[in-house]
Chains A and B, each alone.
Chain A
Amino acid sequence: MFAFLKKLFGPKTEPPNGPATPSPTSPTLPLKGDPDATVPLPELVSSRPSPDSLKSKLAPPSKTRFTIGIAQDVGQVRPHNEDVLLVFTGELGGLEPMPNFGLFIVADGMGGHSLGERASGLAARRIAQVTLDQILPSLLAPPDADIERPLLTEVLENAMVAANRAVVAGVPEGGTTLTGALIIGDQLVLTHVGDTRAYLIAEGQFEQLTRDHSLVQRLKELGQITDDEAAVHPQRSVLYRAVGQGDGLEVDVISRRLPPGALLLLCSDGLWSLVPDTLILEIVRQSTSLQAACDALVKAANDAGGPDNISAIMVQMPG
């Protein structure tokens, strides 16, 4: 599998579509299933189908901007959607460019009736509010301004704590998982609670950046059960940590430097528990754009039964 990955994303392979040539601008992407996202749509560079079918069909990354895909579906079983997606991006070109800015959130709510969707929506909004409040003034200030910039990991930790408080107060019987990714330039900071996930596909590696706060994950780490047993364990949906669970919520905050062209995938368990890693990679490889990849990932989860809501955000770093 490693060799396969290397072939796909390895640093030494030539660009998937041969030498990078300036491509005509792609058409604007339709955004499916996410009426709330007010996203400045990234330009996707259109790609010609590769003559070599062994290579990824994915267009080379933009030189300067994030490339983004998002998709969401209620699935085949559930009556309503308790997942939320949130995307904010910002760019400033010119002589003193601002580092590219992006905030991406996937949250999966829980609680009967409409409590789950209220909890996930409230948490995502609160995280975005706290984060943007603290980051934007510094981001928009000149690079050499005499300002005190906020501490990225603390901003995201505080944002999660604020989201937790908001859910406890606003939807006391509900809860949500949440994985948020803040990107400034090539610096990624993740804030994470629950079993939504962030994956990094870069330099020949497919890596899960987040750790599920679930019982089966702990049992796996202790060597008590195997991956296969975890997938069918009767308590596989039991979390020990979720936004809205009360005081003292411990937040995972993880920082990472993202290499050029790296792909970040955020998704809910409705995707990852149905679509194995190898298939995720295969789908990304076969897709011509990140939007097409996200749509295909959601379809794959639905094809596998779609027992839960499905959400995916993909971001590619400029290359």
Chain B
Amino acid sequence: MTTRMQGQGDTSLKPGAVLQNRYSIQRVLGVGGMGSVYQARDLRFPNATKYVAVKEIINIADPSMREMVIKIFEREANTLASLDHPAIPKIYDYFNQGDRSFLVMEYIDGKDLETYLNDTPGLLGEEKVVEWAIELCDVLSYLHNHKNKDNQPEPIIFRDLKPSNLMLDQHGSIRLIDFGIARNYQAGQKGTMIGTEGYSPPEQYRGESSPAGDIYALAATLHHLLTKQDPRIEPPFSFSERPIRKANPGVSMELEAIINTALNYNPADRFPSAQAMKDALVALRRRSSGMLGHPLGTGRLDLGSLGQGRPVESQAAGVAAAPARSEVTPLWAFKCEDEVRGSPTAANGVVYVGAYDNNLYAVTAADGQLLWKYATDGGLPGSPAVHQDIVYIGSEDRRLHAVSAKSGRLQWTYYADAPIRSSPRAADSHVFIGADDHYLHAVNVVTGRRAWRFQATDAVRCRPAIANDRIFFGCESGEFYAIDMRGERKWHFKAKRGLTSSPLLANNTLYVGSLDGMVYALDASSGWTIWRFRTNKPILSSPAIDGNLLFIGSADNHLYAIDIRTGREAWRFQAEGQVNSSPAVNKGVVYVGSVDGCLHALEAASGKLRWRFKAGGPITSSPTVVNDVVYVGSFDHYLYALTA
């Protein structure tokens, strides 16, 4: 019981019909809800071909309604006849005949802007659209400042500004057609309809109409003209979610800002008048015509590079307000003898971290005092695991080392057949760790002996995830495995490139990043892929989750927040270098390091930058937050402690 458009039946006047012995109908120009608009010839000028437009209102059968509609029609016809503006067609005559009322007006030989836009290949240029916008502001200003015959203000609200109501005449000027005669007295719709009005401001649906509503509709029209995105089939009032410059990069920031102002939901936040909007457009035109060859170019590049994410505002605001907080003073900094690439682990008031000087360090969490250090024979790229007073760490010396958390004294070492660059996970009396020998090793925590090992197709460098008697991990060829506690494969999955990122298990779903640039969400029971999310460069970062948002960095310099329900981006934050560090979340704040040398603290909900700390070298180490203190290492050899 639904229609896309109200069918009129064929009640249109036929060519050749003559009204009032004067207007000879030539053809139908358009069909509306209340009747048609015709092109007619005025027979009073027998020796010249003078065309007029005749608009028809087919009256409703109900006699009381009919009388009211005729009254309103006559009143509005009189108002229109008193208007004098180059963009408004002249009114010549009106009359009632049979069950219809007619309005005779100037015929405009041209194209409406909807047709013009559809016929134009590619996008419209800014210069032309600004010119039209200025003309439209001018006519709106004229209408809004209309006075009645007693010289009292009587603003005329156009109420239905949209491309199809704007004609481009033979001289290239904009003309406003289809004044809303009896527009509010159309019969209500029955059944579901597809497509909204698209250009009307939100308050109009509460029955409010005001000059500010026309300003909104004008801006909505400009948005459509510049982006070619038809608002009638987009979510209503979604203009701000569809930035003009994203669809049409040739548009200047200034014009986008003017249109966005006019599109504010709150009428009070738009331009106070059509004249004010016109002034802004005229100023823009003046500035741009002064810059030969580079119209409207100032400042575009800087902000343009920030303008990629959806919540552009929050990024721009965040970066602008960014206290370049190298003045964020660390609580303490502890100097190792080489780069700290791995992530620190904190337990029982002690922070453990491995460095490329081959040492595992234990320092006090409170003041960064060295408790002990333990030397291996290779670099320590991974992070340690602490389990029942033992610290486990893998080394490029091919060994897994188990060291007393209290004293730093060696308990045992376990040999793989190649360097270990993975981080260990302890569970069920075993330590699980991958190695470049392509195996995932299960090692007994007491004896340091191998329980079993599982062969992958390439080096295993991630930290495995363990839950419900399943171990999940990926390898450098992109294979991802779910195996049981006896080392038997339950299912597997293949990404296009390596899986160095460590999987995160939450609510029986696995999230993992890949060197193919994707983030995958996998069903932990079956291995089915639920969704994937594309970034533009390889992912080395491991994900973190807070509520419905998943955070992960990419070598494309961004930290992404992804809605785990839809697999779509919630926001992204742009750093000045690759984000290979894994984010950590604490009390609504995300912490992540970047190759640009900064540790960034961002609001988890919006991605807005709260503060950043600049270290003396890149940060690929992943921050750890314990008791509102953030611990992170840097290539500058330091382990830092910062107030969260």
Contact = CB atoms under 8 A, between A and B. Distances in A.
B526 A184 contact: yes
Contacts of A187: 509, 523, 525-526, 528, 530
B266 to A, nearest CB: 10
Interface string A213-231: 1010011001011000100
Interface string A248-285: 00001111110000000000010000000000000000
Contacts of A78: 1
A241 B205 CA distance: 19
Contacts of B196: 215, 235, 238, 240
A222 B508 contact: no
A233 interface: yes
Contacts of A148: 494
Contacts of B567: 153, 253, 255
Interface stretch (B41-49, B96-104, B233-241, B366-374): B233-241
Given A153-B531, A255-B566, A143 B490 contact: yes
Interface in A69-125: 78, 82, 99, 108-112, 116
A59 B234 CA distance: 44
Nearest to A98: B526
B189 A144 contact: no
Contacts of A15: none
A112 B192 CA distance: 11
Contacts of A184: 523, 526, 528
Contacts of A189: 530
Nearest to A151: B529
Contacts of A152: 523, 528-531
Interface in B227-269: 232-238, 265
Contacts of A219: 202, 205, 236
Contacts of B8: none
A152 B7 CA distance: 41
- What range describes how many residues of A lie at the interface? 35 or more
A149 interface: yes
Interface string A175-192: 101000000111101000
Interface in B513-549: 521, 523, 525-532
B195 A240 contact: yes
A137 B188 CA distance: 50
Contact of A112 (B3, B527, B532): B3
A111 B526 contact: no
B236 A215 contact: yes
B2 A116 contact: yes
A238 B193 contact: yes
- What range describes how many residues of B lie at the interface? 35 or more
Given A215-B196, A241-B233, A82 B491 contact: no
A132 interface: no
Contacts of B491: 143-144
B191 interface: yes
B194 A257 contact: no
B527 A149 contact: yes
B265 A222 contact: yes
Interface string B480-507: 0000000001111110000000000001
B194 A239 contact: yes
B529 A111 contact: no
Contacts of B193: 110, 237-239
A219 B530 CA distance: 32
B205 A233 contact: yes
A42 interface: no
B531 A255 contact: yes
A30 interface: no
Considering residues B192, B195, B232, which has the most beta carbons from chain A within 10 angstroms of its beta carbon? B192
A254 B523 contact: no
Contacts of B202: 219, 222, 224
Contact of B508 (A110, A186, A213): A186
Given A234-B189, A254-B565, A245 B531 contact: no
A246 B191 CA distance: 20
A146 to B, nearest CB: 8
B279 interface: no
Contacts of A246: 233
Interface in B175-205: 188-189, 191-196, 202-203, 205
Nearest to A116: B2
Contacts of B236: 215, 218-219, 240
A139 B351 CA distance: 46
A173 B509 CA distance: 42
B206 interface: yes
B499 to A, nearest CB: 15
Contacts of B566: 153, 252-255
Interface in B411-463: none
Interface string A273-306: 0000000000000000000000000000000000
Contact of A235 (B205, B237, B529): B205
Interface in A130-168: 138, 143-144, 146, 148-154
B526 A224 contact: no
B4 interface: yes
A151 B531 contact: yes
A110 B235 contact: no
Interface in B12-54: none
Nearest to B236: A218
Interface string B72-104: 000000000000000000000000000000000
Contacts of A99: 525-526
Contacts of B489: 144
A99 B523 CA distance: 11
Contacts of B493: 149
Given A111-B4, A240-B236, A225 B565 contact: no
Nearest to B193: A238
Contacts of B203: 224
Contacts of B238: 218
A149 B528 contact: yes
Given A144-B489, A224-B202, A240-B195, A185 B233 contact: no
B530 A237 contact: no
A198 interface: no
Nearest to B2: A110
Given A153-B567, A219-B236, A255-B565, A237 B526 contact: no
Contacts of B233: 240-241, 245-246
A215 B118 CA distance: 25
A128 interface: no
Contacts of A154: 531-532
A84 B530 CA distance: 27
A97 B279 CA distance: 71
A241 B198 CA distance: 12
Nearest to A177: B192
B532 A151 contact: yes
Contacts of B564: 255
Interface of B: 1-4, 7, 188-189, 191-196, 202-203, 205-206, 232-238, 265, 489-494, 507-509, 521, 523, 525-532, 564-567
19 contacts: A152-B528, A152-B529, A153-B567, A175-B2, A184-B523, A185-B525, A219-B236, A224-B265, A225-B205, A229-B206, A237-B192, A238-B192, A240-B194, A240-B195, A240-B233, A245-B195, A254-B566, A255-B521, A255-B566
The 7 closest A-B pairs by CB, nearest first: A110-B2, A153-B531, A151-B529, A237-B192, A218-B236, A224-B202, A242-B194
Given A78-B1, A152-B529, A235-B189, 9 more contacts: A110-B2, A110-B191, A112-B2, A144-B490, A149-B527, A173-B4, A187-B523, A218-B238, A245-B195
